[in-house]
Structure 1
């Protein structure tokens, strides 16, 4: 970036937008705003009322590094280190899956399960329990706990890196008493005495079919996000089948299983549920783009 005149907020926003557009960024202005907001500590609105403010040398250096990382294809959330999700803001780091807006539909389903259990139980002294498998950043577990105070969430992840990041997000949000985070495969490390007491089992597991991940997923995802959190096996349902085995053990009578899955796998997943005894209902829900996104199944009560 040539230094012929002061690098004001407006000048660097304009320059960065053009540079990122030439590098193939689909939303160059938005990327420029988020990068500059992260570097300066200003909100995106505040950037526009401080157009004439020059950047400090340290800010300019940090912005230059951030621009080059974004231009190389690194996801914006990894570059800025954070991601807004529903009503909370989460730290995001390489090695842990970035939360997607469509996953908010999965949280909605989990909250329905929490509300239904609370209404059915009627005992306000007995907390509703939720089990999340594959917590990643903690976006689902922490959203449920923050939006439904009094709910107790147990969240698991196989990745030590994810567990460490989710724990930091939990501390930052003041939810240590509400959310227990366990490093384990599926629910193998969960207190056995809790099994059978969960009103909701929720998961956003690895669900992209291997061929799709190899041939169709954008490089920004495939090259930077962890394969462990993406690859769902040949049909995308490897982990789902294990969740389906876990659900009767983990859930209380009438409990809900809510799982986000690949759009082309959801009908097959629903068929797997219908082929097993003990389920009162199963449905497929669409996301905001009208694509099949979430399977919701309820145990017989």
Structure 2
């Protein structure tokens, strides 16, 4: 059965096969829309988009086009329906596919939003109401976040920014010690603590 939830200015449809939108994650949309004001031209890319709520709210707030990517066909159907309900279906594309194959080699985006599963596998039992595939981040909760950063490293335009959602500041610190950042290819600019997670701004030098 389809449910609906208010998410910022949007009404988002979803069901039990898709992660229920968390109201606090509207902060990710708002930060992305704020960054978009000074970002290069181009569409927003949303990775692990689920029902599309975070990217759609950012697209509404920024006036930009949006490309949503998710491996779950049900989530993709909801993202398309939610784009129609938001009145911006004409500037939203939804691609069903894995992170490593969904984009063409030459596609670049000035702004990327990523909301990967970030719960460590041995803690997922705390969230029985959530689809396992939407919350299981592997042994340290960072497997899918790392896959997202691979995409960011390859597809974030020079001078662009990504806003990544994680569970803890410690997870952000772990990623900051990995090659994307130690090489200077990406820069971890800011970490913001929120109610149930953290948001991390990642820039690609111009």
TM over 0.5: yes
Q: Corresponding residue for 2:120?
A: 209
Q: Corresponding residue for 2:176?
A: 270
The correspondence of residues 194-273 of structure 1 with structure 2, limited to 5 A, is 195-196=107-108, 198-214=109-125, 217=126, 221-222=127-128, 224-263=129-168, 264-272=170-178, 273=180
Q: Corresponding residue for 1:98?
A: 20
With over 3 angstroms needed to count, the CA separation of the structure-2 counterparts of 1:299 and 1:147, relative to structure 1, is same
Residues 151-193 of structure 1, C-alpha deviations (whole Å, 9 max, x = no match): 1111011001101111111112221111100001115223444
Structure 2 residue runs of 5 or longer lacking an equivalent are none
With over 3 angstroms needed to count, the CA separation of the structure-2 counterparts of 1:157 and 1:113, relative to structure 1, is same
With over 3 angstroms needed to count, the CA separation of the structure-2 counterparts of 1:206 and 1:255, relative to structure 1, is same
Greater per-residue strand proportion: 2
Q: Please tell me whether Structure 1 or Structure 2 has the larger radius of gyration of its CA atoms.
A: 1
With over 3 angstroms needed to count, the CA separation of the structure-2 counterparts of 1:176 and 1:139, relative to structure 1, is same
Structure number with higher relative contact order (C-alpha < 8 Å, ≥ 6 residues apart): 2
Q: Corresponding residue for 2:71?
A: 158
The one of 13, 31, 34 equivalent to 1:112 is: 34
Q: 3-state SS of the aligned residue for 1:177?
A: helix
Q: Corresponding residue for 1:282?
A: 189
Structure 1 residue runs of 5 or longer lacking an equivalent are 1-77, 122-126
RMSD: 1.9
Count of aligned positions: 204
User: How many Å apart are 1:276 and its aligned residue?
Assistant: 3.1
Q: 3-state SS of the aligned residue for 2:99?
A: coil
* CA contact 2:18–2:74 (8 Å) conserved in 1: yes
The correspondence of residues 60-99 of structure 1 with structure 2, limited to 5 A, is 81-99=3-21
* CA contact 1:155–1:182 (8 Å) conserved in 2: yes
How far apart, CA to CA, are the structure 1 residues paired with 2:67 and 2:189? Answer: 24
With over 3 angstroms needed to count, the CA separation of the structure-2 counterparts of 1:271 and 1:292, relative to structure 1, is farther
How far apart, CA to CA, are the structure 2 residues paired with 1:171 and 1:187? Answer: 27
Greater per-residue helix proportion: 1
Q: 3-state SS of the aligned residue for 1:140?
A: helix
Q: 3-state SS of the aligned residue for 2:38?
A: helix
* CA contact 1:207–1:261 (8 Å) conserved in 2: yes
* CA contact 1:109–1:296 (8 Å) conserved in 2: no
Residues 237-258 of structure 1, C-alpha deviations (whole Å, 9 max, x = no match): 0011112211121111011121
| TM-score where L is the length of structure 2 | 0.90
Q: Corresponding residue for 2:57?
A: 143
| TM-score where L is the length of structure 1 | 0.63
